[in-house]
Amino acid sequence: MGIQGMELFAIGVVIILFMAVLKQFGILEPMSSFEDDSSDSDLELSTVRHQPEGLDQLQTQTKFTRKELQSLYRGFKNECPSGLVDEETFKTIYSQFFPQGDATTYAHFLFNAFDIDRNGSIHFEDFVIGLSVLLRGSVTEKLNWAFNLYDINKDGYITKEEMLAIMKSIYDMMGRYTYPCVRDEAPSEHVDKFFQKMDKNRDGVVTIEEFIETCQKDENIMNSMQLFENVI
């Protein structure tokens, strides 16, 4: 994977990879493997520290069916009995998936993108709402989510430094094991070019409007959005 591929890897929020990680660690099971279980139908367990919203409310907040939500929750609670995923657990999962690289920083960025209320843990609601956007959302909704990933300090803008931080975190995680090998200076060079393309008014930051407009005009990025369809 060259640096162009790494860019799409980041723009696409690596959802295919993320789903593979979830499946490997038992957080996400195939939808067909679970029957409708009335004991889980209200998504409440007395043993969990965090009890998620009921199915009816989550159905209105996501684009998943009742049965899909039950399946997702079954896998989530099996791996996370407390009902919460903290950042260290997230980092451990990615570190095991990329033992030859350093996935710590990328896992941190992705964790923050899922941690909607910024409380240092991912609830089932955070998890399933994020998946709904990435797997069932419109292109604009997916790009909004990707923008949030790049907007590290959540001030509503992407700086070149933030874009470079995301790109370097991907490079640290897997870049040195790509073929052909990516030069150390390649991420910085590529971010310079791509940021200039996005920053339409040359004010040194990329707005959500500039981000979406640029991505929608990029055929490769739009094609990458289609990879998210029918994952589950």
Reference 14, options 89, 111, 101, 86; nearest CA is 111
- pLDDT score for 205: 97
Q: In the chain, how many H helices and how many E strands?
A: 12, 4
Structure tokens at 25: 């660690």
- pLDDT score for 11: 47
- pLDDT score for 209: 97
Are the C-beta atoms of 111 and 87 separated by less than 8 Å?
yes
The mean pLDDT of the chain is: 77
Q: Please tell me the distance from the alpha carbon of residue 151 to that of residue 148, in angstroms, as a whole number.
A: 5
- pLDDT score for 208: 97
Structural domains of the chain sorted by starting position, each given as residue range(s) with its CATH number in brackets: 3-38+53-227 (1.10.238.10)
Q: Which amino acid is at 83?
A: G
- pLDDT score for 173: 80
Q: Please tell me the distance from the alpha carbon of residue 205 to that of residue 59, in angstroms, as a whole number.
A: 36
**pLDDT means over runs of 10, the chain (232 residues):** 46 51 52 44 47 78 90 81 85 79 89 88 88 87 90 95 90 66 74 91 96 89 68 54
Q: pTM for the whole thing?
A: 0.77
Q: Which residues have a Cβ under 8 Å from the Cβ of 18 and sit 6 or more positions away?
A: 110
